[in-house]
């Protein structure tokens, strides 16, 4: 059993951080993990992405060309990764920054207004946590508790930041769970 | 010790410290800056010294100097920087000094790019600098293996009094994976006392001179032959390789090293599900190259596929190993482009279905 | 009604956006170089030499011919071009890691041979492209990724004052230091660049203008603060002005006259 995903967005949206948190949480859950960031001339101010693999046995390729899941935090990332996700895979879309619809009909789509939810919770920087929560809710790739523990560790000493990030994570989780259970998230299976 | 999630570059740095290395000399270059940065932060904590050299030429001569005093020392760089270090490396090999050099390869030639590549295989295994010498070259395929090989590299360097290179690519340097360092580690070679160090002589022994100059041709020839005998010992005793999926019947044998072998292993899993029999052979030491082991593994296959992030460098050693006994196919990407498991599966399937061997020149 | 153009892109500057970070002054310095090349009418016979560092892509930003050099070797490459074609105007554009660290030998010998080239030396006290490591020009106490506790001068020495160092050479040259963190400073910087290129065009001497620059990204501060940082921290250590002119006079200190016992 292998979970792999690509998380992509603008630099500064915290996509590398939530990827690392997933890898840490997977490791804490006793899974094999790898985390691979994009690096290159685009590292400053441009788009960035990371690939996370969480598996029951040693991770083969850390490079994933056809991910089972893509989490896209901005429009350029949707343009780039929509076509790459495996048929029947999952696409998490940050609808706060992406207004266009997903064109493929063979994917499960979870729409997450990540920035709106984060703003409402009073921490605009926690949009990444909303998206991470939604991914966990939709896939249960790692346990919510493990990630919550990491949030407390990452922001240790900043009680307010911890609270708002936890709230973002939990709200995202509930949304992901709901959308995944809901028929609309599971559109059409492969070859249907 | 508990597992820790680490970047390859950081794991390499920490492994050096665990191996008792207290000295680092290097110069910034992407994609390995996390190694000097890690050492700059970490070495002072363990009483060590970090120096940012003014150039890679200087760094390679700083490690030459430090090694001559018998201390464990290493440097790291990436392809263009490693080219600049060839002066020091040649002198270090000629003077028989133990150092560890890490090359996190990027694409070339010239300034090239900063993305992953395996295009320094020739440089690492066939010389690099001038003169008749060899590096012992280790190629890890995971962050854990990078940490393990890095520690072994210091033992091997000390044992053979020879430079050892850990050859990775940008992927190994940048990716994070769980790493575990053993609390108690036994050196992989016996470590004789370093009686040859130039650290001051009080008259109780002849002076020690660290040197690679031998103006008398007979003396230099003897020196060359002594070095050669050492490389022969490496060939006899230090070959390391691994295989994957060779316990079941296979038609195609894939040969790859480093992170590319990881990609291939995923492809093999996919192929297995589709009923195509293929296995992976992975050299871990690139010098000494596992010629005999590869030949034995290829005997069970109909054809061999070499996969590299270059236009074909290791393939020359594969040819030497197989001596024309099997058709050899090649799949490569260059410039920092990566090879996907899908691309490997596709090629293996085609070979399995009877794709003829491509005639390659050079 | 006739329109008067009061501001336009210099012809020697390519009509493309650069990759430089917000608040970086490489763009200003590129523009000043391009304006000078235009105003002196040299663009058609100018060849630039690009370094390794943030300005590695300078060849994309000027509309003159260019050669890319290995790290630190721009003055050597420039020497080759100029000796092969003395009629060309050759300028090397180099950062502080490129020129003052790995390329120190090349710049000293290029200046000492009196190569009739122009070097634009951009000093921002840090390695930018590789992510903020210590440079030979990093100020005492300044924090970088390879001196995480601040530059310790007892271990790595003091920042190198390149203009002053090159001014000690006996060979005639024009060596100056300027800054671009305010419009007024930029005007002076342009004047010095103009003198530098004119000396080359007249075949007079080697010329180098050191320009103090900003790196908000790796200094970790907003652009406005970065310009203030130049004024407050860099200018006091790196004084602005002309350090050497090609008058052929030897200003080496004379031995003190022997005092009668």
- Does one domain contain both B233 and B265? no
- Give A164's pLDDT tier (boundaries 50, 70, 90): very high
Q: Which residues of C touch B33 (CB under 8 A)?
A: 130-131, 133, 145
Interface test with A, best of B4, B118, B168, B175 (most A CBs within 10 A): B175
- Burial per residue of A172-192, b for 16 or more beta-carbon CB atoms within 10 angstroms, e otherwise: bbebbbebbeeeebbeeeeee
Q: How far apart are CA B160 and CA B137, in angstroms?
A: 13
The reply to whether residue B259 touches residue A62, judged by beta carbons under 8 angstroms, is yes
Asked whether residue C52 carries a pLDDT value surpassing 90, the answer given is yes
List A residues 57-76 in contact with B (Cβ-Cβ < 8 A). 59-63, 65-66
CB-CB contact of B129 with B87 (8 Å): yes
Q: What CATH number should be reported for the domain holding residue C35?
A: 3.40.50.970
Average pLDDT over residues C204-229: 97
* pLDDT digit string, tens, across residues B231-287: 999 999 999 999 999 999 999 999 999 999 999 999 999 999 888 899 999 999 999
Which CA distances in Å does B315 have to B327, B330, B361?
12, 8, 12
At C92, phi and psi to the nearest 5? -105, 135
- Does one domain contain both B170 and B307? no
Tell me whether C19 touches chain A (CB under 8 Å): yes
Tell me whether C60 touches chain A (CB under 8 Å): no
The overall average pLDDT reported for chain C is: 95
Domain final position from B218, B237, B256: B237
Whether B42 is in a domain gets the answer yes
Whether B207 is in a domain gets the answer no
- Give A191's pLDDT tier (boundaries 50, 70, 90): very low
- Does one domain contain both B46 and B151? yes
Whether B212 is in a domain gets the answer no
Asked whether residue A188 carries a pLDDT value surpassing 60, the answer given is no
Q: For residue B337, what is the nearest residue in chain A, using CA coordinates?
A: A63
State the pLDDT at residue B276. 87
Interface test with C, best of A37, A41, A44 (most C CBs within 10 A): A44
Tell me whether A41 touches chain B (CB under 8 Å): yes
At B341, phi and psi to the nearest 5? -55, -35
Q: How far apart are CA A122 and CA A138, in angstroms?
A: 24
Number of independent structural domains in chain B: 2
Average pLDDT over residues A97-108: 95
State the pLDDT at residue A192. 29
Q: Which residues of C touch A45 (CB under 8 A)?
A: 21-22
Domain final position from B217, B237, B257: B237
Average pLDDT over residues C84-107: 97
- Does one domain contain both B130 and B232? yes
Q: What is the residue-wise DSSP string for B78-133?
A: -HHHHHHTHHHHHHHHHTT---EEEEEEB--STT--SSB--TTHHHHHS-SSSSS-
State the pLDDT at residue B360. 66
- Give A1's pLDDT tier (boundaries 50, 70, 90): confident
Q: Which residues of A touch C19 (CB under 8 A)?
A: 41
Residues in chain B with pLDDT values less than 70: 1, 359-362
Q: How far apart are CA C32 and CA B229, in angstroms?
A: 62
Tell me whether B37 touches chain C (CB under 8 Å): yes
Q: Which residue range forms the structural domain that includes residue B73? A: 4-195+226-237
- Does one domain contain both B108 and B233? yes
The reply to whether residue C133 touches residue B80, judged by beta carbons under 8 angstroms, is no
The reply to whether residue B27 touches residue C147, judged by beta carbons under 8 angstroms, is no
Asked whether residue C84 carries a pLDDT value surpassing 70, the answer given is yes
Whether C126 is in a domain gets the answer yes
Whether C117 is in a domain gets the answer yes
Whether B246 is in a domain gets the answer yes
- Give C249's pLDDT tier (boundaries 50, 70, 90): confident
Whether B213 is in a domain gets the answer no
Q: How far apart are CA A143 and CA A139, in angstroms?
A: 10
Q: For residue A51, what is the nearest residue in chain B, using CA coordinates?
A: B175
The reply to whether residue B28 touches residue C72, judged by beta carbons under 8 angstroms, is no
- Does one domain contain both B55 and B105? yes
Nearest to residue B147, comparing CAs of B298, B37, B3?
B3
Domain final position from B184, B218, B237: B237
Q: For residue C131, what is the nearest residue in chain B, using CA coordinates?
A: B33
Nearest to residue B149, comparing CAs of B101, B190, B93?
B101
Superfamily of domain A2-181 in the CATH hierarchy: Pyruvate-ferredoxin oxidoreductase, PFOR, domain III (3.40.920.10)
CB-CB contact of A62 with A36 (8 Å): yes
Q: Which residue range forms the structural domain that includes residue C148? A: 26-244
- Does one domain contain both B182 and B263? no
Whether B203 is in a domain gets the answer no
Q: For residue B54, what is the nearest residue in chain C, using CA coordinates?
A: C101
Angle at B34 between CA B29 and CA B35, to 5 degrees: 85
State the pLDDT at residue B280. 98
Asked whether residue A45 carries a pLDDT value surpassing 70, the answer given is no
State the pLDDT at residue B356. 87
- Token couple for C19: 């990759």
State the pLDDT at residue A190. 33
Whether B169 is in a domain gets the answer yes
Number of independent structural domains in chain C: 1
Asked whether residue C35 carries a pLDDT value surpassing 60, the answer given is yes
- Does one domain contain both B16 and B73? yes
Tell me whether C108 touches chain B (CB under 8 Å): no
* pLDDT digit string, tens, across residues C4-24: 998 899 999 999 999 999 999
Q: What CATH number should be reported for the domain holding residue B48?
A: 3.40.50.970
Domain boundaries, chain A: 2-181
């Amino acid at each position: 059993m292998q979970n792999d995903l690509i998380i992509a967005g603008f630099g500064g949206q915290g996509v590398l951080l939530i990827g690392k948190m997933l890898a840490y949480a997977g490791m804490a859950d006793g899974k094999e993990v790898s985390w691979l960031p994009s690096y290159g001339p685009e590292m400053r101010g441009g788009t960035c992405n990371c690939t996370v693999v969480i598996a029951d046995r040693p991770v083969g390729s850390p490079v994933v060309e056809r991910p089972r899941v893509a989490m896209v935090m901005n429009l350029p990332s949707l343009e780039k990764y929509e076509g790459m996700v495996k048929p029947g895979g999952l696409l998490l879309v940050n609808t706060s920054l992406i207004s266009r619809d997903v064109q493929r009909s063979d994917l499960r789509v979870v729409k997450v207004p990540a920035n709106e939810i984060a703003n409402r919770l009073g921490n605009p920087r926690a949009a990444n946590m909303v998206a991470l929560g939604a991914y966990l809710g939709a896939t249960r790739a790692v346990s919510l508790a493990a990630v919550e523990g990491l949030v407390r560790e990452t922001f240790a000493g900043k009680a307010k930041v911890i609270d708002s990030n936890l709230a973002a994570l939990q709200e995202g989780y509930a949304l992901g769970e709901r959308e995944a259970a809901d028929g609309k998230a599971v559109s059409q299976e492969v070859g249907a | 010790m508990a597992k820790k999630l680490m970047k390859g570059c950081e794991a390499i740095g920490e492994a050096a410290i665990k191996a008792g290395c207290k000295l680092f000399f290097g110069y910034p270059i992407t994609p390995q800056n996390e190694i000097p940065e890690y050492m700059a932060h970490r070495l002072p904590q363990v009483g060590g010294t970090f120096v940012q050299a003014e150039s890679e030429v200087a760094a390679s001569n700083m490690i030459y100097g430090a090694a001559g005093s018998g201390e464990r020392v290493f440097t790291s760089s990436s392809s263009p920087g490693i080219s600049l270090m060839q002066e020091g490396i040649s002198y270090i090999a000629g003077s028989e000094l133990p150092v560890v050099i890490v090359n996190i390869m990027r694409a070339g030639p010239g300034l090239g790019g900063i993305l992953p590549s395996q295009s320094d295989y020739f440089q690492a295994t066939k010389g690099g600098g001038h003169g008749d010498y060899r590096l012992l070259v280790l190629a890890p395929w995971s962050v854990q293996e990078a940490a393990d090989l890095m520690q072994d590299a210091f033992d091997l360097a000390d044992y053979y009094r020879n430079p050892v290179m850990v050859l990775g690519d940008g992927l190994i340097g940048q990716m994070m994976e769980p790493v575990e360092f053993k609390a108690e580690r036994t050196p992989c070679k016996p470590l004789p006392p370093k009686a040859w160090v130039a650290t001051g002589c009080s008259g109780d022994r002849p002076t020690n001179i660290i040197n690679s100059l031998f103006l008398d041709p007979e003396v230099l020839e003897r020196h060359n032959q002594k070095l050669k005998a050492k490389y022969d010992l490496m060939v006899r005793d230090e070959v390391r390789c691994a295989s994957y999926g060779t316990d079941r019947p296979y038609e195609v044998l894939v040969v790859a090293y480093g992170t590319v072998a990881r990609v291939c292993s995923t492809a093999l899993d996919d192929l297995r599900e589709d009923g195509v029999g293929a296995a992976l052979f992975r050299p871990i030491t690139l010098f000494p190259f596992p010629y005999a082991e590869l030949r034995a593994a290829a005997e069970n296959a109909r054809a061999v596929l070499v996969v590299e992030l270059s236009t074909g460098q290791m393939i020359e050693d594969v040819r030497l190993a197989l001596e024309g006994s099997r058709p050899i196919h090649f799949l490569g990407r260059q410039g920092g482009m990566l090879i996907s498991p899908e691309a490997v599966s596709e090629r293996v399937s085609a070979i399995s279905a009877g794709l003829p061997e491509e005639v390659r020149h050079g | 009604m006739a329109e008067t153009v009061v501001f336009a892109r210099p012809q020697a500057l390519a009509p493309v956006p650069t990759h430089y970070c917000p608040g970086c002054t490489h763009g200003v310095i590129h523009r000043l170089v391009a304006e000078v090349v235009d105003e002196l009418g040299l663009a058609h016979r100018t060849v630039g030499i690009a370094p390794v560092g943030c300005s590695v892509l300078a060849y994309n930003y000027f509309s003159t011919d260019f050669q890319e050099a290995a790290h630190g070797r721009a003055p050597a490459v420039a020497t080759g071009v100029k000796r092969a074609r003395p009629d060309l105007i050759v300028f090397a554009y180099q950062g502080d890691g490129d020129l003052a660290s790995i390329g120190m030998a090349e710049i000293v010998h290029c200046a000492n041979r009196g190569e009739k080239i122009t070097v634009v030396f951009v000093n921002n006290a840090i390695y930018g492209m590789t992510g903020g490591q210590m440079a030979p020009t990093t100020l005492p106490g300044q924090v970088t990724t390879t001196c995480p506790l601040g530059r310790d001068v007892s271990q790595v020495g003091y920042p190198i004052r390149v203009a002053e160092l090159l001014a000690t050479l006996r060979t005639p040259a024009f060596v100056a230091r300027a800054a671009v963190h305010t419009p007024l400073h930029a005007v002076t910087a342009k004047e010095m660049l103009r003198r530098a290129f004119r000396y080359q065009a007249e075949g007079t001497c080697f010329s180098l203008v050191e320009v103090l620059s900003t790196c908000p990204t790796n200094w970790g501060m907003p652009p406005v603060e970065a310009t203030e940082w130049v004024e407050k921290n860099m200018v006091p250590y790196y004084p602005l002005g002309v350090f050497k002119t090609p008058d052929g006079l030897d200003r080496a200190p004379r031995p003190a006259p022997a005092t009668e016992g």
